[in-house]
Amino acid sequence: MTELKERLRELPFWKHLSTDEKERVEALAVIRDYEVGNILHATEGDCLGLVTVISGSVRAYMMSEEGREITLYHIREEECDVLTASCIMYQITFDTQMIIEEESRILIIPTSVLARLKEENIFVRSFIYETLTERFSDVMWTIQQILFYGIDQRIAAYLINTAEEMGCIPERKGAGAGMTPADRPGGSCPEIKVTHEQIAQEINTAREVVARIVRRFIDDGLIATGRGKIRITDYEGLYALAEDLLI
């Protein structure tokens, strides 16, 4: 069995497709490789279709008229997105753009196939609207952070979440109290490779604001920095700042 067929069979709605529908999908679905910085979906671009990230990561964002990016959410390994097929969802009235942030391999079911499945198959239609609901929940969470939480809280939460993804924090909310990185399972944590510009994109603020908060965190003994790197030195202190944002 080819990789394409294996990946298609992992889709939640696959078993509910008819033989004819499966054949249509298999005939037109593709797997593509993307390099970092490639545009997956743009406001003025084609209506791509349903995408599933096999490996890598994609960042969805909006662009203001002044050129400021607002990160909405990320599509990570084994996750799907249908906003790349927004042209077949008439309820969607805003545009998102998507960029490859890690080298990615992506399964794509073209809009031409997806549109027909949406009209003919209730299971596909339910999957589309369920996925849309999850994405809009992500967007609302982003808006809530921008409106109701301080920049310092958002940066602290970003650093803790990133460290957790690297396996540095075994549990949240108090698990790190009184512990240093060397006390944790696996020894000391590696440094987080990130620039002020990248943090600014993630938490939706200006690079200069991030630089100012990072300097304050250094003065408070919460972190140490190197060129393009950050190391958490006081987990307990960051938890105290970010606790309400750790979901």
Q: Is 123 exposed, middle or buried (0-12, 13-18, 19+ CB in 10 A)?
A: middle
CA distances 220 to 171, 214, 224, 232, Å, are 23, 10, 10, 12
Pair 155, 35 in one domain: no
Pair 124, 8 in one domain: yes
Confidence (pLDDT) at 68: 81
CATH number for the domain that contains residue 203: 1.10.10.10
Residue 131: other Cβ atoms inside 10 A: 17
Pair 39, 139 in one domain: yes
Per-residue pLDDT tens digits for 191-244: 899 999 999 999 999 999 999 999 999 999 999 998 889 999 888 898 899 988
Q: What total of structural domains would you count in the chain? A: 2
CATH number for the domain that contains residue 71: 2.60.120.10
For residues 48 and 53, what is the distance between their CA atoms, to the nearest angstrom?
Answer: 14
Per-residue pLDDT tens digits for 31-60: 999 999 999 988 666 789 999 999 999 999
Pair 26, 127 in one domain: yes
pTM of the complete model: 0.80
Pair 19, 74 in one domain: yes
Instruction: Name the domain boundary from 92, 121, 147.
Output: 147
Tell me which residue range forms the domain holding 97: 3-147
Alpha helix (H) ranges present in 19-168? 19-28, 111-120, 122-148, 151-165
Pair 104, 86 in one domain: yes
For residues 173 and 53, what is the distance between their CA atoms, to the nearest angstrom?
Answer: 30
